[in-house]
Structures are given as structure tokens and as C-alpha cells.
Chain A
Amino acid sequence: MDRLIKEKQLMFLIFGGLFLLALLSNLYFFRIDFTVSHSNTLSKVARDFYKELPDTVRITYFISPSLKAKHPGPQMIEDFLLELQAVSRGKIIVSISNPEKDTYRAESLGIKPQQMQVVEKSEQRIALVYSGIAVEYLDRSFALPVVITTDTLEYELLKGIRALVNQKENIAGILIGDGDKIFDQDYRYLKSYLEKGGYTVQEIERGKRIETNVAVLFVIGNSALTRYDAYFIDQYIMHGGRVFFAVKGVNINPNYNLIAQPVMESGIIDLLASYGIFIKRELVLDVSNLTVPFQQPTYSGMFTIQYVPYPHWIVIDKKYVNSNHILTARFNGMDLYWPSPIEYNDNKAFVIQSLIKTTPKAWKQTKAFYTSPNDSRSYTLERTDTEGSYVLGVAGEGILKTAFADPGNLPQPESGQEEPVVSEIKESKTRLVVITGSDSFSDLVEMMQSDVNLNFAVSIADWLVQSDDLLSIRTRSYKPERLDKIKDADVRTTVIILVYILTIGIIPLGFVITGLLLFNKRKKKEQLARLA
């Protein structure tokens, strides 16, 4: 009986120990991040961030207890913030606060409540919950009003703190260069992504001077931009401006049976040519492309939706991007709609690098542009003569000379417009990015879920404003990519069928056969033993 008592004591000791271990595990813990890009670990930028902070930064995470109890995200956010505090050598102080105790303070700091459906006493009701981060520095503050995961938190938080400490507002100006597009209607997603990336988005009017407080200018489309518009862009660059050109050599009208015409207005194309970047008035098609829904008439007069491969909408493969450039070093993919080829000159003062290329099996349409899926048989008319790899995006860095240095070459204003003058500044140190297929940044992205394009646009903005270190955080966050390694649709279907045969047929069957063989072997052995 003495041993039984001892066993019971040991049992209490062991279960008590396990209980204590469970409690301690929440106080002392470590994490190993196995992801290739270490996207769940504090980056070197975050670890060294305290060096940039002249004074203490206070971070308050406002989290409703009801939300914390129901979602694993808040715990991860809390862990991340506490880790950031631990490496900041006292420069970052983190506190976790229940906003429901002081709603006024949370909301005055910019934290926004969110609606959440809850069940209480068998009744459904909508509750207001908070999960937002407020950052205070001296007498200034900013907020991430709603944070629910840590996916892009490190990037958004560090970028916000840097802007707060340096008292710098990052304005992204957007100049819409196509006559058939409207900023508020056709670029809502781009605006939203830039705002989420910490930019204040402003529309820039055509034919107006661009203020130098605009940190980065997006010129989206060029079919309606004249030399007069180009003059102001050049002036902006000469005053230290950074520009992302999303341009095209051929204009496609989606509203009129995808009619394609070379861009007539040469303002931007000429401006870029003077910088050494040449946009061809041609279309590039590629074997790596998107399958698009296309409405086709039937014999009964009705319409049917068919999914057809569309080589005009190119899927950029990470194998064909410049892995040495920080913008594309961790490329998450991109879809370009109706791109044109780019050529560029080598220049020691302004170094241009290719960013994005097609596969080597791309080809061009140079004479007649067949863009409608009804004309799919004509897509490849020029393929034999033009097959090869084409550059669709470049980045340039260095000293650029003005395109309007000659007083006799200045554009003519229309009545009431500002008279162009030759700038006193003849050259400027700058950064440019040029990508063809300007529609790839419009709300068309929604159709093919090409949100990677918008993420890439924000990365471009970060590179242009020289937030290279933050860019490295942004691009490392893991985003599942498409299953587009196999480009050929027929090959892909065959491989899928082979996978089905292997996983649903061969492997289970293999186990059945092995089992039966072993069973028979054992049976025979038993029979022999019985006979013996």
C-alpha cells in the first residue's frame, strides 16, 4: 500500500509539473521561422531601427478582449510588438490596452472599430471590436486603424514610424495619361494599395506644374499626354522628382471589340527616348499568358462564356526577371496586359537595367494588331520572324539631362496655359521605372486577380523614394503565387492527370498489393508450419 501512495504522490507531482510547464511556456518561449524568406521573424532593418530614433516612440496596441479570445492574429501581433520592444534598447515602449475601457482615447488616436458578429444568449448581434495600433512620438502620432494579421505589419509600422519621426508625408501623385480613363473610377485599387503602403495619394492634373512636395509621380498611360505634359514631368524630374512610367506603345480600346492602334500622341514616348528608353509601337505576345473569360455567340443567338488562352496578357515568370535588382530580387509575379517592347541605351551617367522580360518564346505584332480572341488564328502571323525574349520593364538610376534644354524646342501652350521656359537646372540625380502595359495597373486587375501588380507598384514607389531597406521587408512577406510553372496548357492538363493517377491510383493500389502479397506469404508460412 505504501508503494501505491508513493505512486499517487508521483502522479500529482508529474501532473503538477506538466501544469507548471504549461504556465511557464507562455512566459519563456522561442520561435524558429522555417520560411525561406524568414517572413515571420524580425528583419535586420527592424532590429537596427532604434538607431534611427532620437527619442522614445510609444506604441499602443488597442485590442478588444472579445476579439483576442476568438482570433489567433492578435496574439501574433502582440508577440511581434513585444519582440520589437525587446530589440529597441528602450527606444520603443509597447503597451497593450483595452480600448473598451477608454474608447475616446483609442478613437482620438485614429483606431477604428470594426463590426463583428457574435452570438449571445442564442441571439445574434453585431458587436464593435478594436484591433489597431497607435504610435506616439513627441507630440505627434499616427495609427494603423485596423490590424488583424502580422503579414505586412512590420513594413507598415516601420514605414509609419520613420515618416512620423522625420515629419515627412509621402505624397504619391498620379497622372492619368489616357483620355478614356478616370482616376476615381479606373484606379481605385491602385489608390487603395498606395494608401495602405503609407502614401497620401493625389491626382495630378494634365498640363499643370507638378509640385516638388510630391515624393513620387505615377504616370499611368500615355495615349493622351502631349509634349506640353511631358515638359512638366521633365521639370519635376529636374527638381529631384522620381517617376514611375506605366506606358504603352499600342492603345487598346476594350469598349470597341479590343481595337488596337499605335499611340499617336508622342509626348511621353519622345521624353523617354531622350532619356535613352525607347517604347516601340508594337505588341508583345507570350506563351506564358493568362486564360481569360471571353463571351462568344452561339448558333442559337445566345452568348456563352469560354475560357481562352490570351497571349496578349502576359504572366511574368520569376525566371525572367532581374534577380540582381532589389525591386525584382524577391519577385512575387506580375501580369502585363497588352505590353510593348522596350529598348534602351547604355549610359554611364544614368544606368538603366532591365527588370522584367518575357520568356524566350515570346513574339511581336508589328504591322497589324490582332487582339480580339475572335482573331486568335492571326495572333501568330509574325511569330516565326519575331520570336525571342523582350524587355517589358526597366529601372534607371543616376544623372538625367533635361529633354527641354533647347529654347527652340519648347512645346507651345494653348491659350491660358503656362508658358514653358528653359529650366535653369539642366540635369538631376534621379530614379525612374518604366513598365509597358499601362492597363495592368488599372482596375482591370480585379478581373484576373492580378493584385501582384498593385503590390509591385507600391514596391516601385518605395524604391523610387529610396526606402530600399523597407522594400526588402515588403517583398519578403510570403504571398502564395499562382500555379504557373508549367506554361503549356496541354502539358499542364497531362501532368495533372498523371498526378491524379499517381496519388489516387498507383499509391493506394501499391499498398493494397503489398498488403495482399505479405498476407499470402504469411498464410503459406502458417500452412507449412501446420503441415510440419
Chain B
Amino acid sequence: MHKASIVFRRELKSYFNVPIAWLFIVIFNLAISIFFFFVQQFFALDRADLRPYFSLLPLFFTILVPALTMKMWAEEKKQGTYEMLMTMPFSEFDLVIGKFLAAFVLLLIAIASTVFIPITMFLFGYFDPGQIFAQYIGIFLFAAACSAIGQYVSANTKSQISAFVVTMILLIILNIFSQIPLWFNMTGKIADVINWLSVNYHYNSFAKGVLDSRDALYFLIITTGFLYATMQKLYLGRWR
């Protein structure tokens, strides 16, 4: 893990050395606040319920996470540092975990920077802090899954634009999966499988204030699966 932590520090530094991380956090903050207060009209709704706020986070992640993860591997390939990196004494595990943690931590910082919205809302009404806590757990798990997916796509593409577009499409698909049985009037096992794959379906219990092991495991499986697939991609790449 020591080597992974070296990669992690290097990656996190690289985010903050250029405007990308700052831009990401500022856009994320502005978009969330404007949508929450003016599009969803929180104060006009007059309900002490932060579900609308937390329902925005996955939506914005779908657009902003690809912008963050697209450069992970695609840029290394473009700048020619990929080959050099592969010759360094880092295993695939160190590289993938280090890069994943850096993106994940940046997402956590972005989420943490919006924490003033829920905190200030306590001035206006009696909210259920337990429910908000569960929603934060849900969004952290979702952020981890998004980072893992983004990294996998970036490792499989040479251009950052392609990585961005493909990751975004993948995240949109995962978000709208639960609508597919509705559109095509599906039932039975196929619908069950499609629902299981859907992020929304698993986010629902967190929104109610419940941590369900099935839902937590779903996000962990997605995260682990994509991280491992990225490691395999890098490993097989070395042999070609």
C-alpha cells in the first residue's frame, strides 16, 4: 500500500496543480446550489426534507465525474508517460488504487464543500439527521463506483474526449436502468437483473435513511469489479 500511497499523492497533487480540481469544485458547488434553490425551489416547497438535494448529486456526478476521470490514463497515453509509468516499480494494483483514491478523495472534497447547504437548512426546520447521514453514505458509495467506472473507461481509450463521452454514457445508462422495465413493460427475472444493475434502484433505501447490505454490496461490487478490470487491462497491456 505504500507504493499506492505514493501514486495517490502524486495524482492528487496533479489535480490541484492545474485548475481542473478547483474548477470541478466551483462548478459542482454552483450547479448544486442553483438547482437546489432555484430549479427545485426548496424554500417554496416548504418541506424539511433533503431528498431533492441528494437526488441532485448522482445527476451531477454523471456529468462531472467523467470530466475528472477522463485524464487518468488517456492523458498518460497521450503524453507518452504511460510506458514510462509501466516501467516504474509500481504494480498494477498500486497504480489503479492510487489513481482511484485520488479521484475519490477529490469527489469527497467536492461533496464536503457542499455540506453547508444541509447544515444551514437546519436553521429553517427539523430535519432527520440520521436520514441525512445515510444519504451521505449512499452518495460516498456512488462516488466510489463512479470513479472506478471512469478509470476503467480511461484505461481503455486513448483520447480524453472519448473517455469523457463513454463514461458519461455508462453512468447515464446505470442511472436510467430502472426505467427500462417501465418503458418496455418487462417482468420476471430480466427485469430483476436490470433493476439490480440500476444505481437508482439501490440508492432508494439510502434516501429513506436505511443502509441495506444488498445496496451497499452492489456499489462495492461495481467498484471492485471495475478496479479489478482496470488492473487486468493494464496487466494484459504489458504483455502485448
Q: What 1/0 flags go to B6-45 for Cβ under 8 Å of A?
A: 0000000000110101100110011001100100000100
Q: How far is the CA of A15 from the CA of B229 in the complex (A)?
A: 9
Q: Cβ of A34 and Cβ of B134 under 8 Å apart?
A: yes
Chain B neighbourhood of A514, CB < 8 A: 22
CB-nearest residue of chain A relative to B44?
Answer: A483
CB proximity to A under 8 Å, residues B161-188: 178, 181-188
Q: Identify A481's interface contact among B21, B125, B192, B235, CB under 8 A.
A: B125
Known contacts: A72-B201, A511-B29. The answer to whether A30 contacts B213 by CB under 8 A is yes
Which of the listed residues A36, A478, A480 has the most CB atoms from chain B within 10 Å of its own CB?
A480
Q: Name the A residues within 8 Å of B232 (CB-CB).
A: 7, 11
Residues of B within 8 A of A519 (CB): 19
What is the distance, in angstroms, from A498's C-beta to the closest C-beta of chain B?
A: 8
Are A31 and B204 CB-contacts (below 8 A) given A66-B187, A492-B124, A495-B123? no
Chain B 119-134 interface mask (CB, 8 Å, partner A; 1/0): 0110111101111011
Q: Is A500 part of the binding interface, using a Cβ–Cβ cutoff of 8 Å?
A: yes
A231 → chain B, closest Cβ, in Å? 44
Min distance, Cβ A36 to any Cβ of chain B, angstroms: 5
Q: Which chain B residue shows the least CB distance to A19?
A: B221
Q: A147 vs B225: C-alpha distance in the bound complex, in angstroms?
A: 37
A3's nearest neighbour on chain B, judged by CB, is: B239
B196 within 8 A of partner (CB): yes
Query: Do A512 and B22 touch across chains, with their CB atoms under 8 A apart?
Result: yes
Do A72 and B204 contact each other (CB < 8 Å), given the known contacts A31-B211, A482-B125? yes
If A31-B213, A499-B120, A508-B29 touch, does A66 touch B225 (CB 8 Å cutoff)? Answer: no
User: When the two chains form their complex, are residues B181 and A69 in contact, meaning their CB atoms are under 8 A apart?
Assistant: yes
- Segment from A21-29, A54-62, A294-302, A346-354 that makes contact with B: A21-29
Contact A21 B209 (CB under 8 A): no
Closest to A127 in B: B185
B212 within 8 A of A: yes
A508 to B116, CA, bound (A): 12
Q: Does A29 contact B214, Cβ atoms closer than 8 Å?
A: yes
Task: Tell me if A119 and B187 are in contact (CB < 8 A).
Answer: no
Q: Is the CB of A35 within 8 A of B130?
A: yes
B37 and A31 contact, CB distance less than 8 A: no
- Is B30's CB under 8 angstroms from A504's CB? yes
Q: Is B63 an interface residue (CB 8 A)?
A: no
Q: Which residues of the other chain, B, contact A39 by a CB distance below 8 angstroms? A: 209
Which residues of B, 182-240, contact A by the 8 Å Cβ criterion?
A: 182-188, 191-192, 195-196, 201, 204-205, 208-214, 217-218, 221, 224-225, 228, 232, 235-236, 239
Partner of B125, one of A26, A66, A484: A484
Are B208 and A507 neighbours in the complex by a CB distance under 8 Å? no
Do B131 and A34 touch across chains, with their CB atoms under 8 A apart? yes
Check B221–A22 contact: CB distance below 8 A.
yes
CA distance A22 to B222 in the complex (A): 10
B85 proximal to A (CB < 8 A): no
B25 proximity list for chain A (CB < 8 A): 511
On whether the beta carbons of A36 and B128 are closer than 8 Å, the reply is yes
| Residue among B49, B208, B224 with max Cβ neighbours from chain A (10 Å) | B208
A479 to B: closest C-beta gap in Å: 9
> Nearest residue in A to B117 (C-beta to C-beta)?
A503
In the complex, are the beta carbons of A503 and B120 less than 8 A apart?
yes
Q: Which residues of B contact A31 (CB under 8 A)?
A: 205, 210-213
Answer whether A36 and B130 are a contact pair too, CB < 8 Å, given A22-B196, A486-B124.
yes
- Name A35's closest neighbour in chain B (CB-CB): B209
Q: A65-B188, A69-B181, A515-B22 are in contact. Are A25 and B210 (CB under 8 A)?
A: no
Tell whether, in the assembled complex, residue B221 and residue A495 are in contact, meaning their CB atoms are under 8 Å apart.
no
A120 touches B22 (CB 8 A): no
Nearest opposing residue in chain B for A39, CB measure: B209
Closest CB-CB distance, A490 to chain B, in whole Å? 14
Contact B117 A485 (CB under 8 A): no
Q: A69-B195, A72-B201 are in contact. Are A507 and B22 (CB under 8 A)?
A: no
Q: Which residues of chain A are within 8 angstroms of B47 by Cβ–Cβ distance?
A: 480-483
Does B113 interact with chain A (Cβ within 8 Å)?
Answer: yes
Task: With A31-B210, A40-B209 as known contacts, state yes or no: A483 contacts B124, CB within 8 Å.
Answer: yes
Task: Report yes or no: A119 in contact with B185, Cβ–Cβ below 8 A.
Answer: yes
Taken together as a complex, chains A and B put the C-alpha atoms of A482 and B25 apart, in Å, by: 31
Interface residue ranges of A370-391 to B (CB < 8 Å): none
Q: Is A96 an interface residue (CB 8 A)?
A: no
A492 and B214 CA atoms in complex are apart in Å by 42
CB of A532 closer than 8 Å to a CB of B = no
Size class of the B contact interface (CB-based, 8 Å) = 35 or more
Say yes or no: is A273 at the interface (Cβ < 8 Å to chain B).
no
List, in ascending order, chain B residues with CB within 8 A of A32's CB: 210-211
Chain A residues, Cβ within 8 Å of B125 = 481-485
Residues in chain B near residue A484, CB distance under 8 A: 46, 124-125
Query: What residues of B have a CB within 8 angstroms of the CB of A305 in the complex?
Result: none
Which chain A positions have C-beta within 8 A of B185?
66, 118-120, 127
Q: Report how far A522 CA is from B13 CA in the complex, Å.
A: 12
Q: Mark A59-82, 1 if CB is under 8 A from B, else 0.
A: 000000110111010001000000
Cβ A25 vs Cβ B128 within 8 A: no
Contact with A along B35-65 (1 / 0, CB 8 A): 0010000010011110000000000000000
Q: Verify if A258 is at the interface (C-beta below 8 Å from B).
A: no
Whether A18 is near chain B, meaning CB under 8 Å from some CB there, is yes
A6–B188 Cα distance when bound, in Å, is 37
Residues of B within 8 A of A120 (CB): 185
State A25–B22 Cα separation when bound (angstroms): 39
- For A508, list chain B residues within 8 Å (CB): 26, 29-30
* B29 CB contact (under 8 Å) in A22, A69, A503: A503
For residue A138, CB closer than 8 A to chain B, the reply is no
* Interface set, chain A 276-322, CB cutoff 8 A to B: 318
Contacts of B134 in A (CB 8 A): 34-35
Report the bound CA distance from A21 to B123 in whole Å. Answer: 43
A496 sits at the interface (CB 8 A): yes
A502 within 8 A of B: yes
Cβ of B134 to closest chain A Cβ, rounded Å: 4
- List the B residue with the shortest CB-CB distance to A33: B210
The answer to whether residues A518 and B16 also contact, given A25-B217, A32-B211 and a CB cut-off of 8 A, is: yes
Show the binding face of A for B, using Cβ within 8 Å.
4, 7, 11, 14-15, 18, 21-22, 25-26, 29-37, 39-40, 65-66, 68-70, 72, 76, 118-120, 127, 318, 478, 480-486, 492, 495-496, 499-500, 502-504, 507-508, 511-512, 514-515, 518-519, 522
7 A-B pairs with C-beta separation under 8 A:
A21-B217, A21-B221, A26-B214, A29-B214, A32-B211, A483-B47, A514-B22
9 more A-B residue pairs beyond the given contacts A31-B212, A65-B188, with a C-beta to C-beta distance below 8 A? A18-B225, A31-B210, A31-B213, A483-B125, A485-B126, A499-B120, A508-B26, A512-B26, A515-B16
**Top 6 A-B pairs ranked by shortest CB distance?**
A69-B191, A515-B22, A480-B49, A34-B130, A35-B209, A483-B124
